[in-house]
Chains A and B, each alone.
Chain A
Amino acid sequence: MSKILKLFSGSGAISIIAIVLGLIVGAVVMLIGGYEPLLAYKSLFSQVFGNTYDFGETLREITPLILTGFAFAFAARAGLFNIGGEGQFIVGMTAASVIGIKVHGLPIYIHAPLAVIAGGLFGGIWAALVGYLKAKRGVNEVITSIMLNWIALYLANFIVRHFLLMEGKQRSEDILPTASVSFPWLSDLMDSARIHWGMLIAVLCSVFFYYFMWKTKQGFELRAVGNNPNAAQYAGMNVGRNVVKAMFISGIFAGLAGAFQILGVFHYQSIMSGSPGTGFDGIAVGLIGMNNPFGILLGALLFGTLTYGSAGMSFGAGVPPELIRIVIGSIIFFIAAQGIVRGIIKPFYFKRKKEKVL
């Protein structure tokens, strides 16, 4: 455990300072726009923590972000820029919808897990395609995953329209109750906020991520390939196979995120006019969490809180909710431009060190 803390503490300080700086930038922009930043942030937090329903809904907001954050970070650890979390997310949604709507006569303890697994699996395959093209043909993963994002969007709409459509609506039929992963007991407790099992699974995934990446032989290979593919090849690792594997696991995370949105939150799939964006938000979460699984839990917590709370900000202080995107953008900027943050903490850091020496 102390190791986990250590893993996090060095970069943790930077993240926290970046968050504070991001909030300050947001406040400055609000001041310029003639709003009251303190009131705005206060309404933001009271929106999130004000009552149990909103608190539950915030958790609902956070869950897919955790998983798409993992999707980005897992690939990043293996040296891959997975910008395709969006497409993998959509494929995961669609696979879960198909199983949830079309497969009949299964008991809940088989149907729901089956739909979840289908979502994860297809998300994984979608991503593995990118890995395969990179490993075998040397195609840059950014290009293929962006293309596959669009293909996923139109394919999903096609499937909903032609196989799953509810008469006269721009959406699919509802999934069967046996495929639902909602958590009615807790939902009732929280004024019917949409609580589902995916939240627990997302948290468990962080443990899997950590153990797989840092404690297993396969994780060792992924990290070696990510850090220095030449040395990995020299050491006898199959670089191509590791690229495919990293993308596959990464895509499973995104696929699961999509599956839980369908099976636990909406219970149907809409025809989408544009990409939902959850996969892209995962990139931001991954960056805020510095590609560390526990950092990502916190990153998603922050991102989800700010996003959900932004509605309260516009009620309470009249601030347009888009402003929160500026805050998030600035946080990422400060994390990326670590030099600036280091410069700010340096005086404190030196002082502390001097004291230690004495």
Chain B
Amino acid sequence: MNSATPVVELKGITKRFPGVVANDSISFKLFKGEIHALLGENGAGKSTLMNIVFGLYQPDEGSIEINGEPVIIDNPNKAIDLGIGMVHQHFKLVEPFTVTENIILGMEPKKGSNLDTKTAAARIQELSEQYGLRVDPYAKIHDISVGMQQRVEILKTLYRGADILIFDEPTAVLTPQEITELMEIMRRLVAEGKSIILITHKLKEIMHISNTVTIIRRGKVIDTVKTSEASPSILAEKMVGRNVTFKVDKRAAAPGGNVLEVRDLFVKNKEGATVLNGLNLNVRAGEILGIAGVDGNGQTQLIEALTGLSKVESGSIRLNGKELANATPRQISESGIAHIPEDRHKHGLVLDFSMSENMVLETYYKEPYSKRGFLDYNAIKKQAQRLIQAFDVRTPSAETKARSLSGGNQQKAIIAREIDKNPDVLIAAQPTRGLDVGAIEFVQTQLIAQRDQGKAVLLISFELDEIINVSDRIAVIYEGQIVGEVLPEQTNDQELGLMMAGSTVAGGVRHE
């Protein structure tokens, strides 16, 4: 093959959805051994374009060439035959199955009439070692971490012979440690001759790992540049069409009294293991308390206990002095706690409801949305349109189903709904996950504005940058307890990292 022939070439791809042109005659080339990043605002059309390459959607216009050959990719099996593999943001794995079973699903190797898992497992082991994935072929999916599950998805594509790998926001669900490892894996992959298309909103990652960047805005290609000739600010400006500062403006906090007080909280998980071990914390009015910690140290259970989604074994949760441990989610919501959930598809949205209906998911029963038991769709629509406008949610209309919005716009819609509830305490779990830099800036500014209005904000995030930039005070969670507290202006990634790993030395350092 001529090395100048791109492995993937898209020519004038156009894709229309009702009310939007998601891709507007996009042309794009991916060369062998390259990591090509796709960058663009939420709803710019990145996922749509990749779904076209993977055969999930058909373009309305345009053509695709693989290794110089024109092809029609009308289903994912065709894409796999052509050596294309895709790692979706939402994994498609069968939980109770083992890694091997998941990987061979749909193309089970046979020995006579028996399933030949042994050979498959050996092959998976071999691939796993070749690319430094360190996956145990016999582990069950529900026993392994999110990062590990993602590697299973990568292995799945490799096992099926993929040479072209598409990653759609792979790092959104990963911890910083896992991100570093993923970068390493990608390097190994291209070193072995694979080619990668990477969608991410994190400019740091793009600068760090990609060779080329294509920037898309509102369905159109704005530019394709060499990473070595770009900088984060150039990229950000091309992407949103204005200057982005990366640093949120923030005045010093003027905290008031305690609004939320959590004392000796004990919570068990579904398996009956104690995951919150006598946790204590306070959030004051007019401050943002950031919770830093490695995934799996009780963050999820803390949020669920505070919002009534899981049972509290013992301990107290007081909001302005009122006891809320084991209250129902509705009582808690009406008492003045709003919640931006960490998993927008699981908790945040009813994907088959319209945006209007989703915007009143927690308030539908109140006036003016309900009158004498009947919904007032005009009032609901008005509210939805107001929020869509105010938070720049890109959707063709308020009647569009939540499912057809881009990931980032779904997130913005949830944030709009929760902030609009005008709560005393705003719990924001991974609020900027999957958002573009412009939207991140906007959301962080909103969190700070809430604080400035005297609200208590509890921010849970795996992004240390976000914790340090946005919080007024940082509490570190480790094995179900708050093990230390630091001030953002007096700490750094290293110190936080050590504390998050449970180091008592760092935890003991106080900045009074």
Contacts and interface: CB of A to CB of B under 8 A. Distances in A.
A325 interface: no
A215 B347 contact: no
B365 A228 contact: no
A230 B347 contact: yes
B425 to A, nearest CB: 16
Nearest to B417: A235
A231 B374 contact: no
A227 interface: yes
B350 A217 contact: no
B379 to A, nearest CB: 13
Interface residues of A, number: 18
Contacts of A220: 357, 364, 375
A216 interface: yes
A230 B300 CA distance: 14
B351 interface: yes
B349 interface: yes
A139 B476 CA distance: 41
A224 interface: yes
A262 to B, nearest CB: 33
Contact of A233 (B309, B334, B370, B375): B309
Contacts of A216: 373-375
B348 A236 contact: no
A236 B330 contact: yes
B346 A218 contact: no
A235 B375 contact: no
A196 interface: no
Contacts of B364: 217, 220
Contacts of B309: 233-234
Interface string B98-118: 000000000000000000000
Interface in A223-270: 223-224, 227-228, 230-238
A230 B341 CA distance: 11
Contact of A217 (B330, B333, B365): B365
B328 A236 contact: yes
Contacts of B374: 215-217
Contact of B329 (A217, A218, A236): A236
B237 interface: no
A236 B373 contact: no
Given A227-B351, A236-B330, A217 B370 contact: yes
A348 to B, nearest CB: 16
B97 interface: no
A216 B372 CA distance: 9
Interface residues of B, number: 26
A228 B370 contact: no
**Is chain A's interface secondary structure helix, strand, loop, or mixed overall?**
helix
B307 interface: yes
B199 to A, nearest CB: 26
Contacts of A227: 350-353
Interface in A202-231: 215-218, 220, 223-224, 227-228, 230-231
Contacts of A232: 350
Contacts of A231: 346-350, 361
Interface string A30-63: 0000000000000000000000000000000000
A224 B350 contact: yes
A223 B353 contact: yes
Contact of B339 (A228, A230, A234): A234
A182 B350 CA distance: 45
Interface string B370-393: 100111000000000000000000
A233 B339 CA distance: 13
Contacts of A236: 328-330, 333-334, 362
Contacts of A228: 346, 349-352
Nearest to A225: B350
A270 to B, nearest CB: 41
Given A215-B374, A217-B370, A235 B353 contact: no
A231 B357 CA distance: 12
A228 B344 CA distance: 12
A215 B357 CA distance: 12
B368 to A, nearest CB: 12
B362 A235 contact: yes
Contacts of B347: 230-231, 234
Contacts of A238: 328
The CB with the most chain A CB atoms within 10 A, among B329, B350, B375, is that of B350
Interface string B115-159: 000000000000000000000000000000000000000000000
A5 to B, nearest CB: 15
A224 B361 contact: yes
A234 B348 CA distance: 8
A206 to B, nearest CB: 18
Nearest to B357: A220
Contacts of A224: 350, 353, 361
A234 B341 contact: yes
The CB with the most chain B CB atoms within 10 A, among A215, A231, A232, is that of A231
Q: Which 3 residue pairs are nearest across A and B when measured between Cβ atoms?
A: A236-B330, A234-B347, A235-B361
Interface of B: 307, 309, 328-330, 333-334, 339, 341, 346-353, 357, 361-362, 364-365, 370, 373-375
17 contacts: A215-B374, A216-B375, A217-B364, A218-B373, A220-B364, A223-B353, A224-B353, A227-B350, A228-B346, A228-B352, A231-B361, A233-B329, A234-B309, A234-B347, A236-B329, A236-B334, A238-B328
Given A228-B351, A235-B329, 16 more contacts: A215-B374, A216-B373, A217-B370, A220-B357, A223-B353, A227-B352, A227-B353, A230-B347, A231-B350, A231-B361, A232-B350, A233-B329, A234-B329, A234-B339, A234-B341, A236-B362
